[in-house]
A and B are shown apart, each in its own frame.
Chain A
Amino acid sequence: MNILSLAFRNLWYKPLTALLSVLLFALSIGLIALLLNLRAQADDQFDNNLAGINLVVGAKGSPLELVLNSMYHVGYPNGNIPLGKVKAFFNPQHPIVEAAVPLSLGDSYLGYRIVGTTADLIDWYGGVLVEGKAFAKDFEAVVGEEVARKNGLRIGSTFRSSHGIIDEGADRVEHDGEFVVTGVLAASGTVLDQIVLTTNQTYWHSHEAHDAEGGHAGHDHDHAAHDHDHDHAEVTTLMEEDPEKEITSILVRYKNPSSFQALSFPRNINENTDLLAANPAYEISEVRRQFDTGQRLLGVLVVAITIVSALSIFISLFTSLRERRYELALLRVLGAGRPRLFALIVAEGLIVAVIGYGLGILLAHAILTLLAADISGEFRYSLDAWRFLPEEFWLLAGAVLLGLVAAIIPAIQAARTDIGETLTGEG
């Protein structure tokens, strides 16, 4: 029977009181861990997908939405822009733009977005093909790691796209063109994992085929004709397409992001053209600012819960001292010194704190698991619910400290127990 097991038995003797303290403590630790995790994972997602992109150009509308749907593939595209209006961005002689990647958005495969683009996009995000090669012709597709894994796609697999970016199940409107998988990407932790990449021109074909109300045979003919026309459908040839053809947006990297021209470039576009230019770093910092405001509010709540949980340990220990004054005096009669009584009460506080910490961390990650299912359904992001942050281990130190603070006054009180007064009532 050492002090630690005695402390444990004392808590066990009043399980409901101990449970209340443990649960309050778990709630406070759990919320802190949850906030830390959400913050860290959101930061990671934002950072991993910046991909050195300095500017997103698309149709007029909300700059934040443009950034979100073109870079993070969340939400709905603003609208389309004619190719003719953005051709200048692809000119190698452009004074500000180093490189640009065109995006065509709006179709999906079983809820995974299909992005019409050039193979450069893969390099920008640091994607690596585990097998196969990049798409070279229309209706060839490179699929992200998760897309391939969840749907069992491999080189040579074929699938049809559906109109719209949400998987509508049996109601989905399928396009006629059949995609062939030519490459599968390695997991990169970026948005590439969750998208299907193909050429921009594929979008035009599938939509024209749809609009033209052509029969199956007619489509096949189109497809065949296309194959002849565009053996090398890449950016250079995209530029030769009809300027009236539409894409959704372009991603731009600057030659020198800190140059004066680069800094005023977005404003020039916004004021002088009917295009929208959005600076992703700025838009994301706005999102983070919103996030921070929310987090500060939650932070106040968490501080309140933490104080209450510490108080709960303090109060339950303090009231138990009153009930247990005979026991404490008895322990001293039996040979336990004052330091031991102090240690006993501190141990009781610490046990509550440590169990509360354990439960709290479990709680946080259980909630993250639930959120992960939700988020990957809604936003196409995978959340790693059981990744532990170094901060969570620091939280243990915080929990121990809090338990100590809550227990210290009752422990001092216990150590001061006067045996004489307590055990021998009569003088």
Chain B
Amino acid sequence: MLQAQDLSYTYPNGETLRFPDLTCAAGETRLLLGKSGSGKTTLLQLLAGLRSPATGSVEIDGTAVNTLTGSALDRFRGAKVGMVFQTAHFIRSVSIRDNLRLAQSLGGKPVDDRRIEELLTDLDVAHKTHAFPAKLSVGQQQRVAIARAVINQPAVILADEPTSALDDDNALQVLTLLQSQAAAVNAALLIVTHDNRLTSAIANQTTL
């Protein structure tokens, strides 16, 4: 589960943003809403330990993220945080399966081809297991990105505008998959978005 308290961030230009406190329990989905420039992405980065806050603390699965530094923080993120971005990014030079294997080994987990196969089947992209990322459609890529975010059974899944690049059908499908996969690994799911198609579907909302 995820807890953020008293978070603020100071940009290099001196501008400081304060963020509301956040809690997202295991298995729960929460939307983080806000206009462009309201600092949603900055908040997400603070939560993932990609940036250091000026004040406040982030706690994931009982660990204070701010107390970790360097490679320990990277390892923690690999093991406990799954991330999905607006555009799915992959290691272009290796197959979908190797991308997922890489996520497992970088997250400190043993490579488990059975789990990879099950996830890809669940997400209806099993036939792309051996394909290179560039051979997948945008919707397929986003589904593989979801598989990658949940593969290490993280405590928290952070999704940054996961649906805004997709059409209506795909957007709802991706949301459903995100929720069901998060539930399957009992992770807290936090979605940063300004996509109106999602606001009607999810009740837990925090606005910046």
Contact = CB atoms under 8 A, between A and B. Distances in A.
A330 B94 contact: no
Given A1-B101, A1-B105, A335-B78, A420 B50 contact: yes
Given A10-B93, A427-B39, A331 B160 contact: no
Interface stretch (A61-69, A203-211, A336-344): A336-344
B141 to A, nearest CB: 12
Interface string A1-32: 11000100110110000000000000000000
B106 interface: yes
A49 to B, nearest CB: 56
Interface string B74-117: 11111100010110011111100010011101111001000000
A336 B89 contact: no
Nearest to A14: B93
A12 B111 CA distance: 23
Contacts of A420: 41-42, 45, 50-51
B161 A426 contact: yes
Contacts of B48: 333
Given A335-B77, A339-B71, A6 B45 contact: no
Contact of A337 (B75, B89, B91, B107): B75
B44 interface: yes
Given A333-B83, A419-B50, A426 B89 contact: no
A427 B91 contact: no
Contact of B85 (A1, A324, A334, A423): A423
Contacts of A10: 91, 93
B70 interface: yes
A172 interface: no
Nearest to B93: A13
Interface string B29-44: 0000000110111101
A102 B194 CA distance: 103
A6 B98 CA distance: 9
A331 B44 contact: no
A327 interface: yes
Interface residues of A, number: 29
Contacts of B74: 332, 335-338
B45 A424 contact: yes
B105 A2 contact: yes
| Interface size of B as a range | 35 or more
B78 A336 contact: yes
B45 A327 contact: no
Interface in B34-77: 36-37, 39-42, 44-45, 48, 50-51, 70-71, 74-77
Contacts of B37: 427
Contacts of B85: 423-424
Contacts of B92: 13, 324, 327
A334 B90 CA distance: 11
Contact of B102 (A6, A332, A338, A424): A6
A13 to B, nearest CB: 3
A427 B103 contact: no
Given A334-B102, A335-B74, A420-B45, A426 B91 contact: no
Contact of B89 (A2, A12, A327, A339): A327
Given A10-B93, A327-B91, A331-B91, A338 B71 contact: yes
Interface in A18-73: none
Contacts of A425: 86
Interface string A296-314: 0000000000000000000
A336 B106 contact: yes
B91 A333 contact: no
Nearest to A332: B74
Nearest to B98: A1
B89 to A, nearest CB: 4
B30 to A, nearest CB: 18
Contact of A424 (B70, B101, B103, B160): B160
Contacts of B76: 335
A6 B94 contact: yes
A331 B77 CA distance: 11
Between A338, A339, A425, the greatest number of chain B beta carbons within 10 A of the residue's beta carbon is seen for A425
Given A1-B98, A335-B75, A337-B71, A330 B108 contact: no
Between A2, A12, A13, the greatest number of chain B beta carbons within 10 A of the residue's beta carbon is seen for A13
Contacts of B83: 333, 423
B29 to A, nearest CB: 20
B70 A330 contact: no
Contacts of B89: 326-327, 329-330, 423
A1 B102 contact: yes
A303 B74 CA distance: 42
Nearest to A12: B93
Contacts of A426: 36, 40-41, 86, 161
A9 B44 contact: no
A332 B51 CA distance: 13
8 contacts: A1-B101, A10-B93, A326-B89, A333-B83, A334-B103, A334-B106, A423-B83, A426-B86
Interface of A: 1-2, 6, 9-10, 12-13, 324, 326-327, 329-340, 419-420, 423-427
Interface of B: 36-37, 39-42, 44-45, 48, 50-51, 70-71, 74-79, 83, 85-86, 89-94, 98, 101-103, 105-108, 111, 148, 160-161
Given A324-B92, A334-B78, A335-B79, 19 more contacts: A1-B111, A6-B91, A6-B102, A13-B92, A331-B91, A331-B102, A332-B74, A334-B148, A335-B74, A335-B78, A335-B107, A337-B70, A337-B71, A337-B74, A339-B71, A423-B89, A424-B85, A426-B86, A426-B161
Interface pairs A-B: 4 shortest CB-CB: A335-B78, A337-B71, A13-B93, A335-B106
